[in-house]
Structure formats: C-alpha cells, structure tokens
Amino acid sequence: MEQEKTGDLLGRILVRKGLPEEALYRALAEQKGMEFLESAEGIVPDPSAAALLLLRSDALRYGAVPIGFRNGKIEVVLSDPRHKETVAQLLKRPARFYLALPQAWEELFGRAYPEKNRLGEVLVQEGKLSREALKEALEVQKGLPRAKPLGEILVELGLARPEDVEEALKKQRQGGGRLEDTLIQSGKLKPEALAQAVATQLGYPYVDPEEDPPDPGASLLLPEDLCRRYGVFPHRLEGNRLVLLMKDPRNILALDDVRLALKRKGLNHEVAPAVATEAAITKLIERFYSKAELSEIAKEFAQKQVVEEAPSPLELDESAAQKFVKQVIREAFLQDASDIHIEPRQNDVQVRLRIDGALRPYSTLPKGALNAVISVVKIMGGLNIAEKRLPQDGRVRYREGAIDVDLRLSTLPTVYGEKAVMRLLKKASDIPEIEDLGFAPGVFERFKEVISKPYGIFLITGPTGSGKSFTTFSILKRIATPDKNTQTIEDPVEYEIPGINQTQVNPQAGLTFARALRAFLRQDPDIIMVGEIRDSETAKIATEAALTGHLVIATLHTNDAAQAITRLDEMGVEPFNISAALIGVLSQRLVRRVCEHCKVEVKPDPETLRRLGLSEAEIQGARLYKGMGCERCGGTGYKGRYAIHELLVVDDEIRHAIVAGKSATEIKEIARRKGMKTLREDGLYKALQGITTLEEVLARTIE
C-alpha cells in the first residue's frame, strides 16, 4: 500500500488520488461524532481566553483552537480528529468539537494565537514555569495592551493608507477572509509591502531573493511537490537550521510536513521560517525544480522529422511543441518579460522575449516545428487551429505548476507562415501607487493637484509600451473611492479592478468607444476612463462629458504633451471646448534603469553630451553610472524600467493660446516658460540621479 511505503496519512493519500478534501473531512467528522465547520468566516476567538484554555504549543501540537463557550461547553476546532480525546483531557472540562479544513483552521489559529514564541510558553517547555503560574500571569496580561494588528503595522510602516485599511476591514467584516488578502485583491497593497508587514508583525525575517539569493544546494533537501503544494522554498542552511521561505509562516501544516520530509532524509534540522512574497517563492520553485530543459526540447524537435505542410495539426509533434510552449512561458515569467514573439523566418523559427522594452533572442527552432507550436498556442487561447489566413486574438489564464499568469494571444499570417505573440499581463496588485510612478518632486505636486480636480479631461499620451495603462490605473486607484461611480471603456480590459465598472469594446456587437461613452453619461458617473481616443466622435463625446461635470481620463497617441491639444483640434473638437474642458496633459516614456548589481561610475561620453546639447561644465559634480553587464541583467547593464514625464498643466494663459489657435510648438514654449519640464529635461534629471544613462535618454526622447 502507498500508505506503508510513504508513511503518509491515509487522508492525504486519498486527496492525492482525487477525493475532494472537503468530502474527506465531512466523512471524518461524522465518523468521530463531530460537526464539520465549513468556514472560519465571522468567527473571532478571544486570544486571551484561548491562551488560558490551551497553550499555544499544545494548540500547535494537537491542531486545536478554542473559539469560545456555548451552553456551558468550550467550543474547539480541530484540524486532525485523532487528537480529540487528548485535547479533551487537556481542557479538563466539557467540550464541543468541530472539524475544519486546514485553511479555515489556520485562519482561526492565527486569530486565537497571533504572537510567535511567547515567553511564557518557552519557560513552561523548559520546566522553569508551571502551567498554573503561566495561567495566573495570563490573567494579569489580559488587562495589558495586545500586539499590534496587521493593519496598524501597515499604516505605521507607511505601506498602506489608513483609509485603505479601514475600507478593507469593512469588506473583511462583510465577507470574511483575511485583511491582507482583501488589500492585495483591491490593489491597495503591494505583495512586497504585505510580506514586510507580516514579517514585522510575527517577528520573522523578510527575505528578498533578488537581494539575498538562495543556496542552490538547499533545494535538494525538500521534494518539489511539497514546495509546490504549500508555496514554500528551502533558502539556505545555517548550521543545523533550514531557513524556509514562506508566504505565511503561520501555516503550521506546511511546517509539519517540511519537518516530516527532512526526517525521511534522516535529517533533524530545525526549521526557521522567513517571509517572502508568493511571486518570489513561485519563481524560485520554477527556477530550481523545473525539469524541462530547452536543449532537450530542441533535440526532441530535431529527432522528429516534422513535416511543414502536415495535413492535420493532430499529426504534428504536439508533445515537443507543448513542452516548448510551457518552457518559453516559464522563462518569460521568470525574467519578467512582457511579450513572447514566435516568428517564422525563411529557414527556421525565431523566438524572442521582450524584456525591459527590448526584444532579446531566446531560442531558434527548426522550420518544421512552426505549425505544431502555433497550434499549441491557438488551442490554449481557444482559437481556430484550421484558420491560417486571418489574424486571430484570444486570452487565457495560464496555470502550470506554481505559475499563474494571464496571457493575451495574437496570431498573424506572414510570408513565411503564422507568427504568434503572447503578452504576459500584469495583475491589479502590480499597479503602483502614484507615489511610485517616478515623478520628480515638483512635478508630482502639480500632478496631484490636477488629478484631484472634480471635473475636466486629463490626457495621458505616449507611444505603445510607454506605461500609459499603468499610470492611468494608478490614478484610478487613488481617486476612484467607494463614494464615486467610476466607469471605464477599454480595448481590451487588461486589469480587473474591484469597485470599478469596466466595459470592453465589442465592435462585432456595435459597442464602440463612442457608444459606450454615450451610455456612461446615462449611468450617473463621477469618473470616466477612456482606454484610447481613436476617432473624432469619441474625442467630442469625451470633451462634452468633461464639460458637463465629469472627470474624464483618457489616453492619446502623440509625441509630447502640447501635441495632444492640436490632435484634439484635428479630430474636430472646437478650440473653445478644448480650452474649457482640458485640465492637463501628461506625456511619458519608459527608460531602462541601470542595473544596481553591476553599475559603476563613468565619465560622460563627449559625443553623447554634444547630441544632448550639454557641456561638461553643466554636469560637473554629477555622478553618472553605467551597468557593466551581469547575470541578473542578462549582460545588458539594465534591469527594470523607470518613467520620465512631461506634465502640461492648463492655466488661463494656455487656455487663451488654445482659443487663439496657437501651434503645439508655441503652446509648449508657453508651458516651459511657466515651469514645465520636457521629457528630455526630466530624463536628464534622472540620469544625473544615477537612475538611468544619458544614452537611454538620448534614445527615448526628441527635442
């Protein structure tokens, strides 16, 4: 029997064999004469009472949480029915027992025993304090201040705003769940900030694997399936201690199974939890445990003589193709790529990843593999695998192992065969706060003033890939409060934001930007977001909406801020309406950041200075940096991107210039005279701060 071979509990084996976990727990509860507790929602144990009834160490050992009293009995929730009799003896009074799923039990345990390594418990375990004395001390402690809740810690560390925490607490009281999950799902809290706060609250170290890479040998200590099941990763050995990265160190079931796995290897290591983000742990699992090697897949393609013009996609080598597609998605995810390009050429297939805005070669496949690989991509996105003459688009949520990412798929016929592009979409929790958008200090203050206005139209401009969507949703994240009705029309909807009414363009059904905008005006909106102003009708309706007391945020494709004004004019919006409705224009670009791990101080290149119109005297005293290239940046010298901005705030003088029909150049000069920094000027400021390089600024801006 598998149970005899592995030593696992029968219940765990049955779950692995396909029996639903809830069905198993219901059956166990009935067998033991207990009630099954479906959810921890709404149950708030008193930590002081719980500690008086059952020590935290005993609660951990026996999987028991006292949650209160009813009809003269203590109500206790168990995670393992085998400990019912032992817990009853420890309590020494009548008890009513419930059985709960591990996740629900963990939530209750975290509420009942919120602190780690309490002094009293350590003293009892060492024989230096009796249980009776500890209970007396706990009675006294009941009147003392408790450990700070997570929400307070988030606010004190500056990781969340008080109003966001309060709003999340209201949602938590209404729908249950954890405060941290509510904040993450609403996009009000970054996963990194949550991990730091949890570490602070529970007294564990916080680890960023980018700054503190793991010891590769440590991954051999734990099996892959255990790490994937619990979302944990063995970081390093410190003597007889294994530092274990965890999203939530309160997951005692994970810790229990990790200790069991170590014992099976004959190891008696102490397990020391450390907190890391779920995304960081996922990347480590994929990087260290993945079995699919690119060279093996390429060899498999070469061994199979796949015909280019096969009569049916089903006859193609789908096995190697599926492995390859999984592998390239995995690598794109690990390298924070935004897009995957699969491109047919005359004699082969080129695969490239877009990282930090630039395409980098990833792999080359034999030409005969094209149809199989494209077929896998189409099947993933629910596209027609037989249609090769027309472009197709799709979207899919891709889950494989620890990777969970949304993909937008696009295929296009070319002279050498079909090309496919897969875009890896960010999640709502990735959207930054406006403070993290990279504004220079003076510009940021003016930006906050503009987006705080109750009505008007605010335009965000720039080419594709300049970060317009992130900026737009970062603004909405700040201003779309619960007391406002916020409507968006997008093509497509990229980020699903709780509390915002999002609509997707559907040309086949006749739902265009313009038609949606008209409908919005009958929906009592406060804030309207237009994904892109593409035509005259949309431009006119958006302007009218701004003139009738609504705040409109929209994107537009222009080279700089002033050109957005003349673009609206060209679209048929009357100059007097533009001057009355427009409150500001933000133009932006993304420049690559100098890699922090390999940057060195350099002297400016005279030719670059000349092309930027600078002299050495003007930058005297500034410290310029360049990345030398390392493993972490892929040898490029750059890691990540940073925004540069040009903010045009519309005031009376600019309004008069718009009505007078002044050109974009003239309007730009007026704005500069009143303090506007151009894209290049902002870029130079950030290069002199050591964030980017002069070469990047030169490549991304035009004067």
- CATH number for the domain including 49? 3.30.300.160
Residues 477, 418, single domain; the answer is no
d(CA 361, CA 410): 19
pLDDT for res 145 = 43
CATH of the domain at 329: 3.30.450.90
| Amino acid in the structure at residue 260 | L
| Residue 600 β-bridge partners | 626
Q: Give pLDDT tens digits for 586-614.
A: 999 999 999 988 889 888 888 888 888 88
Both structure tokens of 188: 């009000």
Name residue, tokens 């003293």: 123
What pTM, to 2 d.p., does this model score?
Answer: 0.62
Residue 17, phi then psi, degrees to nearest 5: -80, -5
Name residue, tokens 């038609």: 515
Task: Please state, as a whole number, how many other Cβ atoms lie within 10 Å of the Cβ of residue 9.
Answer: 12
d(CA 426, CA 407): 9
* 541 is a domain residue: yes
Domain range spanning residue 552?
430-590+642-676
Residues 94, 15, single domain; the answer is yes
Indicate the SS3 state at residue 313: helix
Residues 33, 158, single domain; the answer is no
Name residue, tokens 């450390």: 274
Residues 379, 460, single domain; the answer is no
* 248 is a domain residue: no
Tell me, rounded to whole angstroms, the distance of Cα 159 from its chain centroid: 16
End-to-end Cα spacing for the chain: 75
Residues 584, 651, single domain; the answer is yes
Q: Is the dihedral of CA 573, 575, 580, 583 positive or negative?
A: positive
Both structure tokens of 171: 């949602």
d(CA 620, CA 608): 15
**Cα separation values, 150 from 111, 118, 147, 193, 254, Å:** 11, 18, 9, 11, 22
* 608 is a domain residue: no
**Cα separation values, 246 from 63, 274, 512, Å:** 20, 6, 46
Calculate the average pLDDT of the chain: 82
Q: Which long-range contacts (CB under 8 A, 24 or more apart) does 674-681 make?
A: 675/442, 676/561, 676/646, 676/647, 676/648, 676/649, 677/440, 677/443, 677/645, 677/646, 677/647, 678/560, 678/646, 678/703, 679/560, 679/587, 679/588, 679/589, 679/644, 679/645, 679/646, 680/612
Q: Three-state secondary structure along 107-166? A: HHHHHHCCCCCCHHHHHHHCCCCCHHHHHHHHHHHCCCCCCCCHHHHHHHCCCCCHHHHH
* 252 is a domain residue: no
What is the DSSP secondary-structure string of 463-512?
-TTSSHHHHHHHHHHHH--TTS-EEEEESS--S--TTSEEEE-BGGGTB-
* 477 is a domain residue: yes
d(CA 209, CA 245): 9
Residues 389, 455, single domain; the answer is no
Both structure tokens of 299: 């060899």
Task: Please state, as a whole number, how many other Cβ atoms lie within 10 Å of the Cβ of residue 299.
Answer: 12
- Kindly give the residue spans of alpha helices, DSSP state H, lying in 244-313: 252-264, 278-289, 294-303
Structural domain count of the chain: 4
* 253 is a domain residue: no
Contacts of 258 (CB under 8 A, 6+ apart): 222, 226, 230, 232, 242, 244, 271
Residues 442, 586, single domain; the answer is yes
Indicate the SS3 state at residue 97: strand
Q: Please, are residues 543 and 521 in contact by the beta-carbon 8 Å criterion?
A: no
Q: Is 36 exposed, middle or buried (CB count within 10 Å of its CB: 0-12, 13-18, 19+)?
A: middle
Both structure tokens of 701: 């801006």
d(CA 433, CA 188): 8
* 321 is a domain residue: yes
Residues 520, 498, single domain; the answer is yes
Residues 197, 57, single domain; the answer is no
d(CA 491, CA 692): 32
d(CA 653, CA 658): 9
Instruction: Show which of 84, 112, 140 is a domain's final residue.
Output: 112
The number of residues making up the chain comes to 703
Residues 411, 530, single domain; the answer is no
- Whole-number CA gyration radius for the chain: 30
Residues 401, 517, single domain; the answer is no
pLDDT for res 547 = 94
Instruction: Show which of 90, 112, 134 is a domain's final residue.
Output: 112
Task: Please state, as a whole number, how many other Cβ atoms lie within 10 Å of the Cβ of residue 433.
Answer: 18
- Taking the C-alpha atoms of 646, 649, 653 and 659 in order, what is their torsion angle to the nearest 10 degrees? 90
Q: Please, are residues 407 and 395 in contact by the beta-carbon 8 Å criterion?
A: yes
d(CA 458, CA 476): 12
Instruction: Show which of 62, 93, 112 is a domain's final residue.
Output: 112
| Amino acid in the structure at residue 631 | E
Indicate the SS3 state at residue 687: helix
| Low pLDDT (below 50) residues in the chain | 1-10, 13-17, 116-119, 122, 128, 140-147, 292, 305-318
d(CA 597, CA 612): 27
The DSSP call for residue 198 is H
pLDDT for res 108 = 85
| Residue 64 β-bridge partners | 78
* 443 is a domain residue: yes
Burial 183-193 (b: 16+ CB within 10 A, else e): bbbbbbbbbeb
CATH of the domain at 550: 3.40.50.300
d(CA 561, CA 645): 9
Residues 445, 406, single domain; the answer is no
Q: In what order do the strands lie in the sheet with 392-400?
A: 358-366, 348-355, 339-344, 417-425, 403-414, 392-400
d(CA 470, CA 490): 13
Q: Please, are residues 638 and 627 in contact by the beta-carbon 8 Å criterion?
A: yes
